[in-house]
Chains A and B, each alone.
Chain A
């Protein structure tokens, strides 16, 4: 289902720029439409943050510390993907992610930008190609402060604080990953 964006004019400049870079037909369609392609919550990094919430350990006094309290978010990273059509066979793919944040991690907001183009090798076939790039959206885990009594207080990886790694070593295992930065999509469809 397609629906028009109320901000059509706002993307016109970007559309022109992209078409120039791509060498697209200069005869830009006068009636550019922006459509929702996808809207969803969650992502591989969001799933990864969920996975960090599994488990826990006992403190020295036996009280249980659950990771869930640190890796729980009130809002799950939402991604909105849109397509602004420039010509009959070319469009700009763009979108954004809201990001999410828990007490001990953060997924940054992200912005996606790219293009989609298609050709008709024959009357009943379509070859589509798209390339998108994502800026931001990285998952970064935050450290905890652990009090080890006589041994002192250290910045540690919250999940590994009760393990055998030295407090300093645990920091090496803080999750710090970027999302897929480039996405290439090629599709060939034959109708018969």
Chain B
């Protein structure tokens, strides 16, 4: 069986969990999105893209982020490792408010995380290398805006993970890093099958104490204008272990031209870094629980844990005291 597992491991394909479109005005097509998210993309060349230094609040960001920056702490002391595509030939257009750009998937997610937490140290780990992810000194946040897809029906224990995913799963199990995992873009419950395939990285992270599944809302929610789950986003489903570790954030694709839960996960990564810059001795599990326990449900349309999990992440509440006197 071990040999079969290894073959299966090789067969598992990394799929980026975004829905990039050249035009911000162009609405995505469900089939197009599904095809993109399930395609194997493993052509790699080396590339180095500088991170962006822009620190302006953008319209796609939650107002919480501006409030979070007001006092000058923006993720300092935390390291966000973006495990993503930094070397393929596939690029697409988008605009995070700093001009139209044409970038690889990892370059987009990295840019987004760096815009949310400008003072965090951002590392890029090309997911095609397969090598173990190393941890930095201090708080570690791992951003996973991709999935590991293979035919449905296997158990996680049958997967022959590469050192890369093995290390990530281990860190999430041991609470050594906050793992922000894009929930997926198949409009199914986390870990569910779509088109005969499942994201086994999702399945492997279920029940891990410092893992957070991140779904996408079509906008940032407010009590006066509640948001709903984006049409493509995977949802929490009926598993209480997923519900208790599932958050949603606004992904303003109509503003940025960038759709998909790929662009939800970096927001949570940035939030985790900012919380870590406030509570400098906090553990990844404490930060994970803080984000989960302070999520809002009153900013969502017809809140249900099976759809939204714990609710919409709220940075301001995550930073606030439980009580004060």
Residues of A within 8 A of B (CB): 57-62, 65, 144-151, 156, 158, 160-167
Contacts and interface: CB of A to CB of B under 8 A. Distances in A.
Contacts of A148: 279, 321-322
Given A57-B316, A149-B293, A150-B286, A165 B324 contact: no
Given A62-B296, A149-B290, A160-B71, A165 B278 contact: yes
B71 A150 contact: no
B207 to A, nearest CB: 19
Given A150-B282, A166-B280, 18 more contacts: A57-B316, A60-B293, A60-B294, A61-B322, A62-B296, A62-B298, A65-B324, A148-B321, A150-B286, A156-B324, A160-B71, A161-B321, A162-B316, A163-B71, A163-B278, A164-B71, A166-B73, A166-B279
Given A164-B274, A164-B319, A146 B324 contact: yes
A163 B324 CA distance: 13
B100 to A, nearest CB: 31
Interface in B268-301: 274, 277-280, 282, 286, 289-290, 293-294, 296, 298
Interface in B62-93: 68-74
A156 B320 CA distance: 12
17 contacts: A57-B320, A58-B316, A60-B293, A60-B294, A145-B325, A147-B323, A151-B279, A151-B286, A156-B321, A156-B324, A161-B320, A161-B324, A162-B316, A164-B71, A164-B74, A166-B73, A167-B278
A150 B291 CA distance: 12
Contacts of A167: 278-279
Nearest to B325: A145
Contacts of B197: none
Contacts of B293: 60, 149
Contacts of B274: 164
Contacts of B321: 59-60, 146-148, 156, 161-162
A147 B324 contact: yes
Contact of B290 (A146, A151, A162, A164): A151
A60 B317 contact: yes
B68 A164 contact: yes
Question: Shortest 8 CB-CB distances between A and B: which pairs?
Answer: A164-B73, A162-B320, A146-B321, A163-B71, A146-B324, A150-B286, A151-B279, A147-B323
A147 B319 contact: no
A166 B278 contact: yes
B324 A144 contact: yes
A105 to B, nearest CB: 15
Nearest to A151: B279
A58 B140 CA distance: 28
Nearest to B282: A151
